[in-house]
Amino acid sequence: MDIKYKLVTQDYKTRKGFLNETDWSDSSWKYVTGTGGLCSSGVFHAYDSPEIALFMNPIQANIVKPRLLEVECDKFVASDLTKVGYKKMRRIKELFFREPSVIQKVAFGILCALQVYDEPSFVVWANSWLSGKNRVVKDAYITAHATRVTADSYAANAAVYASYAVNADDSNAAVYAANAAVYASYAVNTVFIKNFSLIDIALEAMQY
């Protein structure tokens, strides 16, 4: 059995309003009846850490004002580094959390990109932003545009989205940062990148 983390609505539902709506208000085991892998009705989705769940919510669970549950999981199906899928899952307890700030969300995207993309000008800009030395939106735009010209890889796209996050309003910043994580995970799954840990990245981002 594995311990993972899951986001649900305020009334403890996932896929609310759909045929595969599931109620997580009790601790009974839930079983998937559909077929398929990640992003299908063939699995229950969850996350490796509470922080990853919160950072990825804008483009995955996409739940407004979510509740966070610790869940026990069995019959593992797949992982794409940003989320995991299981056939069997039950609620253990509800966890209370502080929503990451916009700065933390942007930092998450930048830290993900830095793990997979090492073009010198991007690295200089990213580290300058993370240190607080340079958070000028214009410079982020210039970095994004320059990177976009040569964005022919998953790693480069991670860098582009991380740069976009700095330029965006609060809600879109979260979306761009999460997309940076997705492209970073694509890069890791395509080309071996040593010591990539989304859990560690998410924990580091929470320090900003």
User: Where in the chain are the domains?
Assistant: 2-95, 102-205
The separation between CA 190 and the C-alpha centre of its own chain, rounded to angstroms, equals: 18
Mean residue pLDDT of the chain comes to 90
| Residue (of 187, 29, 173, 7) closest to 112 by Cα position | 187
Q: What's the pLDDT score for residue 21? A: 85
E-only strand ranges, 47-142: 67-79, 84-95
User: Phi, psi (5° rounding) for residue 23?
Assistant: -100, 120
Query: What six digits make up the tokens of 89?
Result: 């899952």
CB 198 within 8 A of CB 81: yes
Say if residue 83's pLDDT is above 80.
Answer: yes
Mean pLDDT of 136-152: 69
Report the pLDDT averaged over residues 127-132.
Answer: 94
Instruction: Assess contact for 36 and 47: CB atoms under 8 A.
Output: no
Angle between helices 170-190 and 198-205 (to 10 degrees): 150
Does residue 206 register a pLDDT over 80?
yes
C-alpha 66 chain-centroid distance:
15
pLDDT of 170 higher than 90: no
Could you read off the pLDDT of 31-74 as tens digits, one per residue? Answer: 998 787 788 888 999 999 999 999 999 999 999 999 999 999 99
| CA nearest to 89, candidates 47, 157, 32 | 32
